[in-house]
Amino acid sequence: MELKSRPRRRDFITISSGESFSPFHYSVGRFGSQFLTELRDHKRFMGMRCAGCGRVYVPPRPVCGPCFKKMDDWVEVGPNGTLIAFTILRFAFIDPETGQKKPVPYGYGFIRLDGADTQLQHFLPVGAKPPKIGMKVRPVFEEIRHGNLRDIRHFEEIA
């Protein structure tokens, strides 16, 4: 069969997956659990240092990628850091973690905590003064923390 004309938009078939609710839980592992427990209980960022190359990973991981060495050297980093890159979101979408639309605009950036060699991704407030690459930032913690990255509300510029 040969198409004689391009299909119009209303001719496209759409299929609905229906009402799906699929909550799931997964382990963040031994290193992730330690990292999130320190954040929750002490507002402290802990990274993992490689004995081979000296890189400090935040969030921590068990093996250094470049060296392929197992790591077990916890080091405290931050809490302040530097904004490495960011974007500003102006289109509301449903946050898969909460099921709610996050009010726009808001920033999302890569933050390198002082003493770390990797970046953490997190939210940035967007006010009258937009974020800029290289600005020094600090975390703003939630009063009630649950042991996940949302225990940090966002990172804000250090005035």
Binding site for Zn ion (CB under 5 A): 50, 52-53, 64, 67
Taking the least distance from each CB to Zn ion, the nearer of 112 and 122 is 112
Beta bridge partners of residue 155, listed in sequence order: 139
- In 3D, which of 63, 82, 81 has the Cα closest to residue 72? 63
Tokens 């649950």 sit on residue: 146
Closer of 40 and 61 to Zn ion (Cβ): 61
In the complex, the smallest distance separating the C-beta of residue 70 from Zn ion, rounded to whole angstroms, is 10
- Closer by beta carbon to Zn ion, 52 or else 130: 52
In angstroms, give the least distance from the CB of 75 to Zn ion: 14
Helix (H) or strand (E) holding 41: helix 29-42
CB of 60 to Zn ion, least distance (A): 13
Contact 73/48 with Cβ under 8 angstroms? yes
